[in-house]
């Protein structure tokens, strides 16, 4: 079995996208569109919950939004003018239908639905305490602890119960919740995962990225601030700051790879940042070559920036198939590198005899980089230089990003020269951490209190990692496989994000 | 219902791709890969026939190759070291399972399978004669007339019967056939549709495009010549010229749009030709602008060429979704231009306030061009100039390309200025027919005997159009809807190609 | 749309069957067989939970056991030597997947699974209290209250918690539960619904009916006693009597219709009881006729008994189709009585010109009886007399039986003579309540403390009906539609049984 | 894998049922009902072709009628006031979709559809000749030779062509055909397979059995005579006798087992004949027993007859499951005789300690009889006597009945005493051939020219067996596996019937 499935890609994977509509006709149909625009943030499962008065209606399915949320039969059931939805990565299997968000519960106050992007880093500990006192969990999702904390909170109002629950959880969360009265959107005090506010007509929209606002024709208003809790009821939006002033540290990898280039993340155009990363890379790591060639599509904006800055022509030396995510049976006589070829094909007549510089966004395991370098050489390239639009990825993420365990991270195990040897390139260079901060508009990284969460590059985790600590320190490699579940090695408690 | 399905695209559509393997272990698994590489030539249905000794095994399915030809259950049935396959566009529906190629028949000589790219332009007349003498057709495919002509031919050997059949048919055909003894590949005397020969190990490969050779690791040998008939038996390839010397007129639109940019068509790199078209376009039709922006992905190589020649920066002003071919339910409050937005999104921060020149490969109905221009303006573009990498498409194709009926072709109904007004661009220009011939390496078009079939631009059809003539002249618009079936208006005899 | 689906039948419907295996290799495969033998007790959904050590594995599906539990893929996942399962009637729909039993929970003590036949008559009240204190329900099933009562019980051991929970619930329950240590089977103090113990090899089996023991080759040991709680751990069976001595009142309708004729229920052969009902009916209500004809198949044993006692020949005047449960589209020219004809056809040559006595088990709405009488007349019957093997069904059941609301019960609204007129029979008679008690081996009904639950005939409900009382009295017809959900009118809280 | 699928039954299997409607609104919906009533004649596949003016619409599917022909989506496509349909047994698999009838062809005269019950015994020879002259077959069905004979017939009118074709075929055929002008129904000169005419309103109905007329509310008019060809056009029915006077020999096994008991076959009530067979059996083979017990359901009418004649009480000692046709996974600890138990369960309390006489319709392989005798003994029966309502089945059928190859027929290999030993009964007896003829109303069998086809009992085949003769004589056992395809050993040319 061979596959071009993105999970086998040599990439970090954002695990979730969320989208909510407060106060629009056919809210669920808008959510379906919004989730489709966020499909790159999670293709394994999708769910939508709609609210009509006090009645909640949900549909959840494994697989992408399209195909699962395109029939009148399904959509007609999702009645109401409020709706929220979720796309996610995670392991497949019938059992996990229960883990597909939005999660939903019948509380004494009525229905409650929650969609979560991020990861609660003390979820196992909280769950254990809740079960001991009689709570029964429906899923293995970290998100469900929020609901049980809410249900058992001694506070009186739903809002107070909700804030009480948030105060107990650690980690990263951008949440969209629905109650019988309205919609709540909030972001953890550091604002690790993104969340934006839009407006179309009288309706408020919440989304992980602005590209989803574009698709439904909504105007981009602003980001939800780190630590902000926003409530929409009766067409009015009110803002709360239950954590007071906080120092933001949004994820810098959203700019490198996760977000769509046409999105605006925390105020910056992702496309411009990526071009600027390419330009910084050209300054920091010049090379003598005939062509600048992007590894499509994620390397393309940086490659354009690199080409402009260096003056080397930008050319399409690798053609990407539009029919990705496919599986085939390997013929007996062994087509070489079939996995990568199903996605990418060398533009042989162009590349033959030329010195090329390849631009990619990151190196994770290095397996794909190796195959692409080999593919370029088989197509006749004279020299193959690799330039990477992020610093070396050396640490696992515990905030809702699917990372391999640390010993699978090439940069955690090897020096840059060893990495270059491994991928068989003529040269290899990464942008520096300060170069990356420059590309996002900072002068440099403030090491005392960094402006972004860059833990995957630096190991500087901005929150406690309680569930990890109860086992051992996250950087002790031997235990990391239990703490950072990957597709091939599912952990006991599934992460959803 | 809204959809991003390619059929609703404003494009001409190649109707078929063919692929054959003669003499390799797991031939059917290689064909599945080859067809996947040709998926852009037809996504509606796919079929593979394998041959093991005298036994033939087939599987046909609606939908793409992947998903239908990826299970061991299906592939294990397709036993043997010879196999051929076909991808196609055409109308859906259970009944049309019979029209999915390869078509297969039990002849007195044993099994026979045929996969056809092209269109027989006197198929209706021939079918009528055959039915009168007792032949019973299984499909509504034009290809089936070849089989019945073969079955009822008075000649003695299968090869003589086959040539006898070909002499009776008119139009375009690139064929891959399997017999109990071997494989036959041939191309009509004008070589209208492409067909190439490759080799991997001892096996010969036939394919519509070289990109399919790349995927299975085969070496590109050469094109099948127009009017050539090639037979592989017992590992030997022999060439026949049943039509003697012929004057080739391959389809020029393969270079403009149909073929993948990484293919070599009739000896030329498609990517290089497209870049050169862009360069010629920049020479013929310069414009003062801030950015050159491709309409992705088909306009990209020409845009790179245009940018290089003009010195205007190449930028990604339109981001294409990876999740195309999707359908959604339109929300009640009417998202504008949803159809096009599902596929393309404006890169707003880039485009805002800029003068841009958009590069697209062609304009068919003009509906998509209009929506893209509007999308650019809504994103704040100051000026939107459109440059097209082919001459105006004014005539229907009868050689295996899905074209709307002539009155739906914008260029058949309007002047260039009227087209510009229709799509609401600030300016619009097409490459000239001679510019196009220059880009493919000719000095100019030889009007007496053109080097290519360019009937869609010029109306100069290189063969008789017998079935059309029996109704009326093809350029008489009122009857064209019967002769040139389109997706929305199915004709009596379905075209397969 | 016409259907022969049993739900449209004019019958009361047992809502559930349960089956458990304690201590056998491939326990889940045995449960699948046992549930298949109990399929007549519920065809809408089925579930199996297996336990291997402390790991629980479940599969639940809409539809019958066969087709859902016959693949190696499904069954291989249901590992372990303990397993229990459930079949049920209820409304369909994706949402109700959560209501399919066995219900399962992760308690502080480990996994817990429960399969329930019956109905908790104070479930709504208990649920309300539990939600107020922070319990979150996964389903709308009455059974789930038992789990939450257990999870939040202040007692220390699981057994004490379980008994604590049972003491709070009212109504009918035959339960099979699995814990990390073993299996618990119990029956409510009145033993309203049946439950038997069997043994095969070293394994203990629990089942709703003995017919399920026969299929898996198990020996019938005895019934679980009313109010008895039986635990199997480490191959040992221990019996508990948490309710002390109780006065049994098992459901008498199990003998009339619910149970299979080849089952032994509470010690009696169902077939013999039904034949004896037929004999009593012949004594109480003789008729002059040519043939005794059963309404197949439920009327057959009583018809044999009636024929034997009366000396009138037993003949098959109605042939039942083997292909029931089917739906068709009504042709335009209106086939009469198509619904009933899809299931039953008159044996015209036999019936024509004859005086016949039809034997059926019960009359609920009367709609089917009417159609069968009409069908017999159209086939030429000279006289049609109807004899019913149970007293008039006048009251709804609240103990796990699907009954129409009371005003739809023909006998609740009409006298016997009016019923006879309605179904257009020449005469109609029912067995008396004492005749029925005689047939089950009693001298007569002890009105002070009846030996059986016969509330559907007499209205004498043996337990409080708390949820009903909170609305109004059950016999006040206008509210019954809320309390006794029927297929067409789903109630707020779904019943599972 | 264990199954209760009827194909594993120890029964001969009628292979087809046909149904046609000429001149009624929603003809296809009526055909769906008619085929459902004939479902016992073939459950593997079903097809319906409808005609609206000159347009033909078809739908074919593997599996039963219900489920495949119950959706508005399917039925709305089957437009028109003429329709015919077919149910069949045969091997499964995607490839055989082409073999599902009605077969359909576009002839020079327009559309043509044919549904066939029976088997052409010189089909292979005719097919060979047709292929040599250029005919291309779509299926492996014997029926298709009729269409090609028709298409290539030199006669002028369609009727003359059709009769010309029939004169060339040998064997058994009851046909329903549709042409652009009307409907043709005909029966081979011996009338081997049944076919009846009915009327509802102005519409004529044709059906394999009268039970299908009952379901659509049609009046039974008469049988189509052997050798008769009936045409309905414009509401008029005309009869032709292209073979002149013929001597009828309809299949006697229709009375024994194939037809429904509520059908009238060639003028006789099947139920009455079966009761009379039971009575003759009681006279010929009396036994001292406590109970007469039918093997349900096919043995029931004969058992009633046997009980009446012998005075021994009729009792239900075997209860049949309503949920047949199911497959399960065998648990590890080996439930005995699970296959038969899934269908039948002993009524233990009844049978225990009693002497019983079992009545079954026939013995084919004997495997089921053995298991049923064992099941009765395990339930405690003191003596088990078996009485069979047909003579020993000693020869294969070549006229559209699925029979095992001869060496698998118990009666072909063993004496009656050996058969009795094999099935472990206390005694075994069959009705005599003359007893069977008496039961159908004849004085005795006329050996010179028998009144029925009884070849399965006597070996007296009423037609040439050309395809068999070309291999060898049918009674030479070693070749029979090629000539009489059975489910496990598919022959080269598949039989449909």
Taking only the tens place, the pLDDT of each residue in C64-73 is 998 899 999 9
Q: Comparing C-alpha atoms, which of A401, A495, A486, A497 is closest to residue A18?
A: A497
Which residues in chain C are closer than 8 Å to D297, comparing Cβ atoms? 322
CA-based nearest distance D474→chain C, Å: 35
- Put simply, whether C375 touches D (Cβ < 8 Å) is no
Residues B2 and B335: beta-carbon distance below 8 Å: no
Determine the pLDDT at residue A219. Answer: 95
Q: Name, in order, each residue with C-beta under 8 angstroms of A393's C-beta and a sequence gap of 6 or more.
A: A12, A362, A363, A364, A403, A409, A411, A412, A456, A457
Residues B252 and B436: beta-carbon distance below 8 Å: yes
E strand residue ranges, C329-450: 344-346, 355-360, 383-388, 401-402, 427-430
- Put simply, whether A384 touches B (Cβ < 8 Å) is no
Q: Is residue A361 marked as binding?
A: yes
- Put simply, whether B322 touches D (Cβ < 8 Å) is no
- The SS3 call for residue C397 is coil
Q: How confident is the model at residue C9 (pLDDT cuts 50, 70, 90)?
A: low
Q: What is the DSSP letter of B65?
A: S
Chain C: residue whose CA lies nearest to A127: C108
Taking only the tens place, the pLDDT of each residue in C413-438 is 999 999 999 999 999 999 999 999 99
| Contact of chains B and C by CB distance (3 or more pairs under 8 angstroms) | no
Q: What is the mean pLDDT of residues B78-86?
A: 97
Determine the pLDDT at residue A472. Answer: 52
Lowest mean pLDDT among A19-23, B344-348, B486-490, C230-234: B486-490
Cross-chain CB nearest to B134 (options D59, D94, D151): D151
Q: Is residue A297 marked as binding?
A: no
Alpha-carbon distance of D282 to D211, in angstroms, equals 28
Residues of A noted as catalytic: 16
State whether B332 and A29 contact (CB < 8 Å): yes
Alpha-carbon distance of C274 to C263, in angstroms, equals 12
Residues B173 and B116: beta-carbon distance below 8 Å: yes
The angle at the Cα of C86, spanning C83 to C87, to the nearest 5 degrees, equals: 145
Which residues in chain D are closer than 8 Å to B131, comparing Cβ atoms? 106-108
Determine the pLDDT at residue C330. Answer: 79
- The SS3 call for residue C16 is strand
Taking only the tens place, the pLDDT of each residue in A443-476 is 999 999 999 999 999 999 999 998 887 765 444 3
Other C-beta atoms within 10 Å of D249: how many?
23
Alpha-carbon distance of B129 to C446, in angstroms, equals 90
C405 φ/ψ angles, rounded to the nearest 5 degrees: -65, 160
On the question of pLDDT at A428 being above 60, the answer is yes
Among D347, D350, D353, D371, the strongest candidate for a mutation testing the C interface, having the largest count of C CBs within 10 A, is D347
On the question of pLDDT at C28 being above 60, the answer is yes
Q: How confident is the model at residue C20 (pLDDT cuts 50, 70, 90)?
A: very high
Q: What is the mean pLDDT of residues B190-205?
A: 97
On the question of pLDDT at B476 being above 50, the answer is no
On the question of pLDDT at D495 being above 60, the answer is no
What is the pLDDT of chain B when averaged over all its residues? 89
B418 φ/ψ angles, rounded to the nearest 5 degrees: -65, -35
Cα C194 to the chain's mean position, in Å? Answer: 9
| Contact of chains D and A by CB distance (3 or more pairs under 8 angstroms) | no
Determine the pLDDT at residue A50. Answer: 98
Instruction: Indicate if D16 belongs to the active site.
Output: yes
Judging by DSSP bridges, how do beta strands D383-388 and D401-402 pair with one another?
unpaired
Q: Name, in order, each residue with C-beta under 8 angstroms of C120's C-beta and a sequence gap of 6 or more.
A: C126, C142, C143, C145, C146, C169, C170, C171, C173
Judging by DSSP bridges, how do beta strands C383-388 and C427-430 pair with one another?
parallel
| Contact of chains A and B by CB distance (3 or more pairs under 8 angstroms) | yes
Positive or negative, the Cα torsion across C440, C442, C445, C451? negative
Count of pairs with CB atoms under 8 A, one residue in A, one in C: 45
Lowest mean pLDDT among B143-152, C330-339, D453-462: C330-339
Alpha-carbon distance of A172 to A117, in angstroms, equals 8
User: CA separation (Å) from A23 to A78, A182, C490?
Assistant: 14, 9, 30
- Residue of D16, D84, D186, D420 marked active site: D16
Determine the pLDDT at residue A93. Answer: 40
Cross-chain CB nearest to D108 (options B106, B131, B152): B131
- Put simply, whether A333 touches B (Cβ < 8 Å) is yes
State whether C201 and D24 contact (CB < 8 Å): no
Q: How confident is the model at residue D476 (pLDDT cuts 50, 70, 90)?
A: very low
Which residues in chain D are closer than 8 Å to C348, comparing Cβ atoms? 214, 262, 264
Q: Which of residues 45-64 of C touch A (CB under 8 A)?
A: 58-59
Q: What is the mean pLDDT of residues A124-142?
A: 93
Chain B: residue whose CA lies nearest to D144: B136
Q: Which chains touch B (3 or more CB pairs under 8 A)?
A: A, D
- Put simply, whether C105 touches A (Cβ < 8 Å) is yes
Q: Is residue D360 marked as binding?
A: yes
State whether A323 and B30 contact (CB < 8 Å): no
Taking only the tens place, the pLDDT of each residue in A401-411 is 888 888 899 99
State whether B40 and A322 contact (CB < 8 Å): yes
Cross-chain CB nearest to D108 (options B94, B108, B132): B132
| DSSP H or E run through C146 | helix C144-151
- Put simply, whether C26 touches D (Cβ < 8 Å) is yes
Domains of chain D: 14-248 (3.60.20.10), 270-321+335-451 (3.40.50.2020)
Which residues in chain B are closer than 8 Å to D105, comparing Cβ atoms? 136
Q: How confident is the model at residue D403 (pLDDT cuts 50, 70, 90)?
A: confident
Residues paired with residue D87 on neighbouring β-strands, in sequence order: D17, D46
Determine the pLDDT at residue B448. Answer: 93
Which residues in chain D are closer than 8 Å to C71, comparing Cβ atoms? 329
Q: Which of residues 180-209 of B touch D (CB under 8 A)?
A: none
Q: Is residue B397 marked as binding?
A: yes
Q: Can you read off the two tokens belonging to residue A119?
A: 């990861």
Residues A288 and A354: beta-carbon distance below 8 Å: no
On the question of pLDDT at A308 being above 90, the answer is yes
State whether A107 and C131 contact (CB < 8 Å): yes
Determine the pLDDT at residue C333. Answer: 62
Alpha-carbon distance of B266 to B191, in angstroms, equals 10
On the question of pLDDT at A275 being above 70, the answer is yes
Taking only the tens place, the pLDDT of each residue in D279-335 is 999 999 999 999 999 999 899 999 999 999 999 999 999 999 877 666 777 787 667
Chain C: residue whose CA lies nearest to D272: C350
Q: Which of residues 258-287 of D touch C (CB under 8 A)?
A: 260-262, 264, 269, 271-272
Q: Length of chain C in residues, anyone?
A: 497
State whether A137 and C107 contact (CB < 8 Å): no
- The SS3 call for residue B204 is strand
- Put simply, whether C16 touches A (Cβ < 8 Å) is no
Q: Length of chain D in residues, anyone?
A: 497
A22 φ/ψ angles, rounded to the nearest 5 degrees: -120, 100
Q: Can you read off the two tokens belonging to residue C251?
A: 């459901």
Extract long-range pairs of C407-415: CB within 8 Å, 24+ residues apart: C407/C477, C407/C480, C408/C364, C408/C365, C408/C486, C409/C364, C409/C365, C410/C363, C410/C364, C410/C365, C410/C366, C411/C363
Q: How confident is the model at residue A326 (pLDDT cuts 50, 70, 90)?
A: low
Taking only the tens place, the pLDDT of each residue in A213-239 is 999 999 999 999 999 999 999 999 999
Residues B255 and B278: beta-carbon distance below 8 Å: no
The label of the residue with tokens 């294409």 reads B320
Q: Can you read off the two tokens belonging to residue A78?
A: 């999702």
Taking only the tens place, the pLDDT of each residue in D14-39 is 789 999 999 999 999 999 999 999 99
On the question of pLDDT at B250 being above 70, the answer is yes
Taking only the tens place, the pLDDT of each residue in D359-371 is 999 999 999 999 9
Residues A287 and A387: beta-carbon distance below 8 Å: yes
- Per cent of chain B over pLDDT 90 is 78
Q: Comparing C-alpha atoms, which of B334, B358, B330, B354 is closest to residue B344?
A: B358
Determine the pLDDT at residue C99. Answer: 85
- Which letter, b or e, does each residue of D290-313 get, where b requires 16 or more Cβ atoms within 10 Å of its Cβ? bbbbbbbbbbbbbbbbbbbbbebe
Chain A: residue whose CA lies nearest to B352: A269
Cross-chain CB nearest to B350 (options A216, A269, A341): A269
Q: Can you read off the two tokens belonging to residue C92?
A: 């369909």
Cross-chain CB nearest to C347 (options D29, D262, D328): D262
- Put simply, whether B134 touches D (Cβ < 8 Å) is yes
Q: How confident is the model at residue D94 (pLDDT cuts 50, 70, 90)?
A: very low
Alpha-carbon distance of B289 to B280, in angstroms, equals 17
């Amino acid at each position: 079995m061979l596959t071009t499935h993105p999970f086998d890609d040599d990439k970090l994977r954002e695990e979730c996208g969320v989208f909510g509509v407060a106060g629009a006709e056919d809210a669920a149909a808008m959510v379906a569109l919004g989730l489709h625009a966020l499909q790159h943030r999670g293709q394994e499962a999708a769910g939508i919950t709609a609210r009509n008065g006090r009645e909640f209606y949900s549909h959840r399915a494994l697989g992408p939004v399209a195909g699962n949320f395109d029939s009148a039969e399904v959509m007609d059931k999702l009645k109401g003018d409020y709706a929220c939805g979720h796309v996610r990565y995670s392991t497949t299997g019938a059992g996990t239908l229960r883990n597909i968000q939005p999660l939903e519960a019948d509380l004494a106050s009525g229905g409650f639905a929650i969609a979560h992007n991020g990861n609660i880093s003390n979820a196992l500990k909280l769950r254990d305490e809740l079960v001991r006192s009689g709570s029964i969990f429906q899923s293995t999702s970290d998100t469900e602890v929020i609901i049980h904390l809410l249900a058992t909170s001694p506070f009186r109002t739903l809002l107070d119960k909700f804030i009480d629950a948030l105060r107990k959880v650690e980690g990263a969360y951008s949440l969209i919740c629905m109650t019988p009265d309205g919609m709540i959107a909030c972001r953890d005090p550091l604002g690790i995962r993104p969340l934006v506010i839009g407006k179309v007509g009288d309706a408020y929209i919440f989304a992980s990225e602005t590209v989803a606002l574009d698709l439904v024709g909504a105007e981009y208003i602003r980001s939800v601030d780190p630590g902000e809790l926003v409530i929409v009821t009766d067409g009015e939006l009110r803002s709360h700051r239950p954590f007071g002033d906080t120092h933001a540290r949004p994820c810098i990898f959203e700019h490198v790879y996760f977000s769509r280039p046409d999105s605006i993340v925390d105020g910056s155009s992702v496309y411009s940042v990526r071009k600027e990363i390419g330009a910084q890379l050209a300054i920091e790591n010049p090379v003598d070559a005939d062509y600048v060639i992007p590894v499509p599509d994620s390397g393309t904006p940086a490659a354009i920036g690199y080409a402009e800055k260096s003056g080397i022509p930008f050319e399409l030396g690798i053609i990407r198939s539009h029919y990705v995510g496919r599986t085939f049976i390997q013929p007996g006589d062994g087509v070489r590198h079939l996995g990568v070829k199903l996605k990418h094909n060398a533009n042989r007549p162009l590349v033959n005899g030329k010195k090329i510089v390849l631009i990619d966004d990151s190196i994770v395991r290095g397996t794909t980089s190796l195959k692409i370098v080999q593919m370029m050489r088989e197509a006749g390239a004279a020299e193959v230089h690799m330039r990477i639009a992020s610093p070396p990825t050396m640490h696992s993420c515990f905030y809702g990003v699917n990372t391999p365990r640390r010993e699978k991270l090439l940069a955690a195990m090897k020096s840059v020269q060893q990495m270059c040897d491994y991928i068989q390139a003529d040269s290899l260079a990464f942008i520096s951490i300060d170069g990356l901060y420059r590309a996002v508009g900072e002068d440099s990284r403030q090491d005392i209190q960094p402006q972004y969460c860059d833990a995957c590059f630096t190991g500087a985790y901005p929150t406690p990692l309680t569930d990890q600590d109860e086992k051992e320190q996250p950087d002790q490699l031997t235990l990391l496989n239990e703490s950072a579940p990957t597709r091939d090695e599912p952990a006991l408690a599934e992460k959803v994000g």
